[in-house]
Chain A
Amino acid sequence: MLNCSNNVFFVSSFGGHSTQLGILKSQLNLSNDVKPLWVGTSSLTEKYDFIVPDCHGRFSLALVKCLFSSLLLCIKYRPFVVVSTGALPGLVVGLVSKLFGARFVWIDSIANIKSLSVSGTYALKFADEVYSQWPEVASLYKTVQYKGSVFE
């Protein structure tokens, strides 16, 4: 297999997405042979293992930079799972990692209480698992699961 590493990427953009992913990550109890790596978009904090350029909205130079950066990361570290809470940078890393055989898990931000985020609806097209943190939102989509939220 292409993704022969034991690396898991946790990817999110700065702010609320990162806060939620940080809480989830801190609650995991992974065995020693799984290596979590935190990918963020801001160098203002030292908690991230890697930084990818932030991007949002439509096609932009920032998106190209993010794509390129994700490609380098995925080639080098070959994660077997990528988990993201959003937004676009998480989607980009998830998409690229899939090309290298990874599984992509999308946890839609708790901020999206009426429907999935824009990034989330794209994630629906290629992610292996998509979760909403609201049962009402999950029930709107065939393949979206609800398994609780980051804080209960």
Chain B
Amino acid sequence: MIFCTVGSQEPFDRLMDMLEVNRHCLSQYGPLVCQLGSSTGVSFAKNYKFLPEDAFIDYFSRSEFIISHAGMGNMILSLDLGKKIILVPRLKRLGEHRTDHQEHVASKFGNLPNVFIVNDSEELEAVLLSEEFNSFNTEFVRESKSSLAIHLNQTIMSLSKIQ
């Protein structure tokens, strides 16, 4: 199974078109499930406008890989679950987002082993056919505690003592 999710803000029909074009390539990975938000549905997918969080996480965890806009929530969840994820940055100039931060996010995170950035149908096809993509199965595990969390913990506890 493949899970595609594009958030709930502006529609992202460009990504949906990329999926249509690559139907043949994608179908070898099993059924496609899409959370569309306000985007147009994909002809060969099981389309949902919005999924409750439980169902969302269930699809996310059970799918072989994720196709998504370069939103931070999906990015972080994929790191959490050690999932490979194909990111298509939303572009401001095409009216897909208010800023171009998704491009920045994609460029910063693109070198992680489970992250694959694509910008059009040809690039998507190339990734789907690539050895690098298909051989990735590394457990990408996040350390249990970040230094930021440890620092925040100390800050909160020291402020609670000043009370």
Contacts and interface: CB of A to CB of B under 8 A. Distances in A.
A107 B71 contact: no
Contacts of A113: 101, 104-105, 108
B163 A6 contact: yes
Interface residues of B, number: 35
Given A30-B157, A113-B104, A147 B147 contact: yes
A19 B73 contact: yes
Interface residues of A, number: 44
Main secondary structure of the interface of A (DSSP, over half): loop
B94 interface: no
A17 B142 CA distance: 18
Contacts of B108: 113
B160 A24 contact: no
B155 A28 contact: no
Given A31-B157, A80-B160, A105-B155, A15 B148 contact: no
Closest 5 CB pairs of A and B: A16-B72, A27-B149, A148-B147, A148-B148, A16-B73
